[in-house]
Chains A and B, each alone.
Chain A
């Protein structure tokens, strides 16, 4: 059934996510204010896109979005968080330390593969999914309730915990709708 999925559109790769969601038959709403989360009966799910996590945190602060976003995700509605989005969702962030919502019981290191010249394309270890990594974060700890969805070179790169799906890469840049479909149907 078609749903209305929000995409946090403060900064970053929100348009590419919107294209994939529309391709799956969902309506898309760009979210920049607390009102965007609740208008017209609210949203059925939310995407946290890639971009600069420190910039997003600033804009969340400037717009008093921390509490409304936190309440939305903790209500248990489906969420997909990619790259910077996964950093926002993590329990703890290193490289350097910064604030995060802590919905996902994992620790991450920002720019875990290095600067842009080390960014790369690859496929998952099972060969099923094309991967685009851009200054990507690295998962350094997984909690007990966290299920690994995909690995690359033996290390986890996509995970699920309850209704939250997170990836250190960019499915939206590789036209890979599988994680969006997993999160939102």
Chain B
């Protein structure tokens, strides 16, 4: 028996495809998420919009809070650690969370080095804004990717940018000759072997989900149409008027994204979505997607 191989790590990501991963801050929200059909929950102390509002240093959550959520639900429980903070990650692994998100939503602990994720038994998910960043994270051992979008804004524009960028860059790779790939690896700053793999397969070697700014069923469906294999919803559910209903609607929209009539029905009467922020109102320092490299 061989535990926690890369295949086993990516295997869990495969099983989460088409499912919605919801941010929750307590056991009660976790139960609401599971009842609405969430495929997993992300346990954290404050949703990204609240972190934005409060300011200060955002760190990994209190183990007691994570354990209370593990007790409350039977779907996988994920938790976030700061970029580069391998000690927070070790603590999360000791708690047996099912996935660790090395996340730009928390305040980075290391501006030069991300965590060596191959050194862990727990699978990692990491954010990306383009193909080079995606492949660097896979090179470090990430078993799942998510676009960063701009967390806590309820604004899908950055998520769309990142999904489209990835898709265009992957397509470009498939059209290049083998002799052109090393130069591409240099330009993208990505491992050559992974560049070769993507050029041959036309897709990333691990599942890629969308995250950052998803607030409506239509946002989730848009991300699926742009090539996301599922979605993370952070502030969008529990900062809306009717979280249980919106959660279920986003779950349905992620499965039935190709059926506009069904999406119309799903989107009806959900109450007010989270308020949201325009990108122009955010200073460069407030842009979470710029964290990590």
Contact = CB atoms under 8 A, between A and B. Distances in A.
Interface residues of A, number: 39
A150 to B, nearest CB: 15
A68 interface: no
Contacts of B38: 55
Contact of B5 (A110, A111, A121): A121
A40 to B, nearest CB: 18
A184 interface: no
Contact of B12 (A58, A84, A135): A135
Contacts, number: 126
Contact of B18 (A11, A96, A120, A170): A11
A13 to B, nearest CB: 5
A20 interface: no
A98 B220 CA distance: 28
Interface residues of B, number: 38
A62 B37 CA distance: 10
Interface in B220-279: 248, 251-252, 255-256
B36 A51 contact: no
Nearest to B75: A52
B14 A62 contact: no
Given A55-B75, A62-B248, A135-B98, A117 B3 contact: yes
Nearest to A84: B15
A16 B3 contact: no
A3 B90 CA distance: 49
Contact of B98 (A10, A51, A116): A116
Contacts of B251: 55, 58-59, 62
Interface string A9-30: 1111111100000000000000
A59 B17 contact: no
Contacts of B18: 9-12, 14, 51
A74 interface: no
B125 to A, nearest CB: 12
A54 interface: yes
A51 B39 contact: yes
Interface in A100-122: 110-111, 114-122
B258 to A, nearest CB: 9
Contact of A52 (B7, B11, B19, B252): B19
Nearest to B40: A52
Contact of A54 (B1, B74, B99, B255): B74
B37 A132 contact: no
B96 to A, nearest CB: 5
B108 interface: no
Contacts of A78: none
Give the top 4 A-B pairs by smallest Cβ distance, nearest first.
A58-B37, A116-B98, A11-B18, A134-B11
9 contacts: A10-B255, A12-B15, A14-B18, A55-B19, A62-B248, A95-B74, A111-B74, A122-B1, A132-B8
Interface of B: 1-5, 7-8, 11-12, 14-19, 34-40, 74-76, 93, 96-99, 121-123, 248, 251-252, 255-256
Given A11-B18, A54-B37, A135-B12, 8 more contacts: A12-B15, A12-B19, A50-B15, A58-B37, A83-B15, A96-B74, A116-B76, A120-B5
